[in-house]
Amino acid sequence: MTQPAEVSPATVAASAQHVTKTYGSGDTTVHALRDVSIDFQSGQFTAIMGPSGSGKSTLMHCLAGLDNATSGTVTIGDVELAGLSDKEITRLRRDRIGFVFQAFNLVPTLSAQENITLPLDIAGRELDQDWFDAVVDRLGLRDRLTHRPGELSGGQQQRVACARALVGRPDIIFGDEPTGNLDSRSSGEVLSILRAAVDEFGQTVVIVTHDPRAASYADRVVFLADGRLVHELTEPTADDVFAVMRGLGEES
Ligand SMILES: Nc1ncnc2c1ncn2[C@@H]1O[C@H](COP(=O)(O)OP(=O)(O)OP(=O)(O)O)[C@@H](O)[C@H]1O
């Protein structure tokens, strides 16, 4: 018998529920995250903002399985991280998560092409050549593939890092200040690429940033203060973001 058609709810790519993270103990305890609950929908671009020390990196690291929450639940897709062994977490990070860091983290002795395919090579996964070509052409890297990172500009290196994150078609791409080391033109290029990854490739992107202009590329901006989620904007302008940040006591 056929089931009645259901409107499927938007898929959640990553979720934190009642997550706390404390460092140290006794007098030196730091409450980096205090009961944070948030879902990241598939196919959305989210920016996490907040004053220095508000818990942004801690939240991203807990979501990406780079750090363990003290309590609460973190899921990537339908997988709860707490139940996984170190080996399973490593595999999940490798297969389902893409990373773009502030310090591009490319291997200096490998060409751009080798850097892009490295995670697939390590995982023993086959390269989808059509997808590789689509990503490389969209990111304007075709004529740079044989170059080593040292022969590329900062913006080009970060585009290689974006291609590396995209080529495995992860469930979610995390960016930790991905434009932190770039001038405004290169920042704009990288943010346009992350935007296109969502709009054209259906990816899910979550970045931590201090820059209201970078955050304005996102569909949604969430604000942390003192380890708590305190505010949220959808489709904001840089001015909207700036106003909230000023209210939280951070001059950008
Ligand atoms: N390994 C650690 N040991 C002890 N305290 C830590 C550790 N990592 C982070 N913290 C503390 O947890 C709090 C949140 O840090 P976190 O790095 O997440 O903030 P952030 O919002 O990303 O800051 P920033 O914008 O300056 O990078 C801070 O008070 C920080 O000092």
pLDDT of residue 211: 93
Domain count, the chain: 1
> What is the domain-level CATH number for residue 170?
3.40.50.300
Which atom in ligand 1 lies closest to the alpha carbon of residue 60?
18
Indicate the pTM of the whole model.
0.90
Ligand 1, atom 11, residue with closest C-alpha: 32
Residue 122 belongs to a domain: yes
Q: What is the mean pLDDT of the chain?
A: 90
Tell me, yes or no, whether 4 lies in a domain.
no
Residue 3 has pLDDT above 70, yes or no: no
Task: Inform me whether the pLDDT recorded for 188 exceeds 70.
Answer: yes
ipTM of the complex, rounded to two decimals: 0.96
Q: Is 90 contained in some domain? A: yes
Residue 113 lies in a domain: yes
CA of 28 to the centre of ligand 1 (A): 13
CA angle 81, 57, 72 (to 5 degrees): 35
Tens-digit pLDDT profile for residues 97-146:
999 888 878 999 999 999 999 989 988 889 999 989 988 988 889 999 99
Q: Is the CB of 25 under 6 A from ligand 1?
A: no
Beta bridge partners of 46: 206, 220
* DSSP per-residue letters across 115-163: HHHHHHHHHTPPP-HHHHHHHHHHTT-GGGTT--GGGS-HHHHHHHHHH
Please identify, by atom number, the ligand 1 atom nearest to the C-alpha of residue 61: 18
Q: Are 132 and 116 in contact (CB under 8 A)?
A: yes
Q: Is residue 5 part of a domain?
A: no
Q: Is residue 63 part of a domain?
A: yes
CA of 182 to the centre of ligand 1 (A): 23
Domain contains 7: no
For range 18-38, the mean pLDDT: 94
CA angle 152, 211, 220 (to 5 degrees): 110
Residue type present at position 35: D
Residue 226 is assigned to a structural domain of this protein: yes
Taking residues 241-247, report their average pLDDT: 93
Q: Which domain holds residue 172?
A: 12-24+31-247
- According to the model, what pLDDT value does residue 186 have? 83
